[in-house]
């Protein structure tokens, strides 16, 4: 095989391999509520009560979070009132990676591609184009309930 022929075939092979990698690794917004990688899909709106949290023993400090049934709930302020908590789907709307809450910045961040979301799930920075689903939070006595 001649040197030019070898380099030509090598170049075509690399283009095919690299194109395949980029298509698989960064597919863009899928829409809906993606399942977090290795997790449970977020419940649809109208699903009723999803889960409850005992505020006497959980989510005590600002920044504390808990993931249940595809939803992440975070304490964002002091006090046992609804406005001191936020609950959104845990799966990033870009590719389904589980998001984290950054207490210092007061936002949700996807560790995979850096999408950022407000406390209410609105997209602040892409590549995610769709907001996170937001869930309702109610408190009765020391029990916080998340519902869709």
User: Which residues, other chains included, contact 146 with Cβ-Cβ below 8 Å and sequence gap of 6+?
Assistant: 49, 50, 51, 52, 53, 68, 71, 73, 87, 135, 136, 137
pLDDT digits 0-9 by tens, 66-111: 999 999 999 999 999 999 999 999 999 999 999 999 999 999 999 9
Domain boundaries, the chain: 1-28, 31-147
The pLDDT mean for the chain works out to: 81
Answer whether 53's CB lies under 8 Å from 138's CB. no
pTM of the model: 0.70
16-20, 115-119, 139-143: which range is least confident on average? Answer: 16-20
Domain spanning 31-147 has what CATH number?
2.102.10.10
Question: Tokens at residue 38, please?
Answer: 């290795």
Neighbours of 130 (CB within 10 A): 17
Residue 9 has pLDDT above 70, yes or no: no
């Amino acid at each position: 095989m001649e040197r030019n022929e070898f380099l030509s075939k090598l170049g075509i092979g690399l283009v095919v391999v690299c194109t395949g990698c980029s298509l698989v690794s960064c597919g863009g917004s899928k829409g809906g509520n993606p399942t977090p990688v290795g997790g449970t899909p977020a419940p649809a709106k109208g699903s009723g009560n999803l889960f409850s949290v005992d505020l006497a023993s959980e989510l005590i400090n600002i920044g504390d979070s808990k993931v249940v049934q595809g939803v992440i709930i975070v304490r964002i302020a002091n006090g046992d009132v609804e406005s001191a908590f936020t609950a959104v789907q845990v799966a990033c709307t870009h590719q389904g990676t589980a998001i984290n809450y950054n207490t210092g910045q007061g936002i949700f961040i996807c560790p995979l591609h850096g999408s950022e979301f407000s406390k209410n799930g609105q997209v602040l920075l892409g590549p995610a184009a769709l907001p996170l689903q937001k869930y309702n939070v109610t408190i009765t006595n020391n029990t916080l309930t998340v519902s869709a």
